[in-house]
Amino acid sequence: MKLEERKSARTGDSYFAGKHPSGLPIYLFPKPGSHSTYAIFGTRYGSVDTTFRRSDESAPCTVPPGIAHFLEHKLFESEDGDAFARYARTGASANAYTSFDSTCYLFSCTENVRESLEILLDFVQSPYFTEQTVQKEQGIIGQEIRMYDDDPQWRVLFNMLGAMYHNHPVKTDIAGTVESIAQITPEYLYRCYHTFYNLNNMALCVAGNIDPQMVVELADRMLKPSEPVTVERIFAPEPDSVLQSRVEQKLPVAAPLFQFGFKETAAGRVPSRKLAQTEVLLEVLASDASPLMRRLLDEGLVNEFSFDTEYFEGPGYACVIFSGESADPDRVAAEIKKEIARLRAEGISQAAFERAKKAVYGRNIVSLNSAENIANTMISLHFAGNELFGYLEEVAALTRGDVEARLREQMDPERSVLSVVSPIS
């Protein structure tokens, strides 16, 4: 396997990238002097991938919601025992997560890097499902789903997505429903595993105290070649409009929670240039130094610890989200729309743009000090078709006109949804 060194003239950092003969893209970011190592092995397969067509098949396949998350749980088990028990012997801290568009397995450690990486490459490539183990997991995940049904932070998000999207599966809980996971069988799990856990659809990122040659040698020994099968994700047509503009649920919370989102038209993944434009735009609009934030704080409408912004995007979905706690979420939403209208009418000042751009650029540079941030960012950018240093260059090249152009494209008040979770009493 040939590794290509990629350098950043801006930061002086470099990493190695290459495609293994098995089909797996590998990214290695050595950090001399680092005391820890972080590795993440993931697949471009998330909760929204419920209808798909393999390149070697003519007909599409639809599976029950929740299978990606179910697979994540089951892969830690094998005929030989539990992967967490194996990690306990190396001293590594292991975990995994399923998102809307990916599933990733990871560990961090300060020693025994080779042994821990060997465990990661082994169990993710060794599926083992039986009727008995599937039935047992259905009960466990069913309890998890019921627990999240009462989680205010979870409900305020999915209530918003449910009001925003007519058809896209992003509106469905990542874990599925109690009814959908009851339909999962070992056959479904093997079907999805062999479709999406193809090494050509996956990536391995390792950052920190590593020897790149050691990782390559381990990959040569352990990776199992995959057929060059590609997967087409299939989604029902999604109208530009939202389903409803406001949704509210009462739960036992001390203060109302809100998520205020603006739906966008999204055919595929958003390119890195537009991601950079949006990150700077949100910094202009709602950072601690922004007029909007000062006004919201001065009037006691939000607190600086809970108020946040996010650009939430993936295959076939995209929206800007403002979230936090407020005694008057409707007033917060009105103030956000008012500030967006003001910026559209008056334009973004050069001083506000420069301040926001420096803040975003600095944040991304600081993230290169953390092996965990590096590996997580590299794999998410890879799955979106972007690249680490390329994103930094996009931020550095932004002009005020770029960000103002993005403002004209985003945050249409006619396509906004306010989701509120309010106290029961």
| Active-site residue identified among 4, 5, 57, 72 | 72
CB atoms within 10 A of CB 328: 15
Q: Indicate if 79 belongs to the active site.
A: no
* Burial letters 43-61, b for 16+ CB under 10 A, else e: bbbbbbbbebbbeeeeeeb
What residue ranges in 304-365 does DSSP mark as E strands?
308-314, 317-325
Residue 408 has, within 13 A of its CA and on its CB side, a CA count of: 8
Q: For tokens 């067509």, what's the residue?
A: 53
Query: How many other C-beta atoms lie within 10 A of the C-beta of residue 32?
Result: 5
Cα→Cα distances 130→133, 187, 191, Å: 5, 9, 14
Q: Are 312 and 319 in contact (CB under 8 A)?
A: yes
Helix (H, G, I), strand (E, B) or coil at 36: coil
Give dist(CA 13, CA 31) in Å, integer. Answer: 9
Percent helix, strand, coil in the chain, to 5, is 45, 20, 35
Distance CA 279, CA 356 (A): 9
- Within the chain, what is the greatest distance between any pair of CA atoms? 65
Residue 365: closest CA among 6, 13, 27: 13
Residue 220's contacts (CB-CB under 8 Å, 6 or more residues apart) are: 1, 20
Nearest to 100 by CA among 313, 280, 403: 313
CB 29 within 8 A of CB 374: yes
The tokens describing 368, both together, are 């290169």
Secondary structure (3-state) at 279: helix
- Catalytic machinery residues: 72
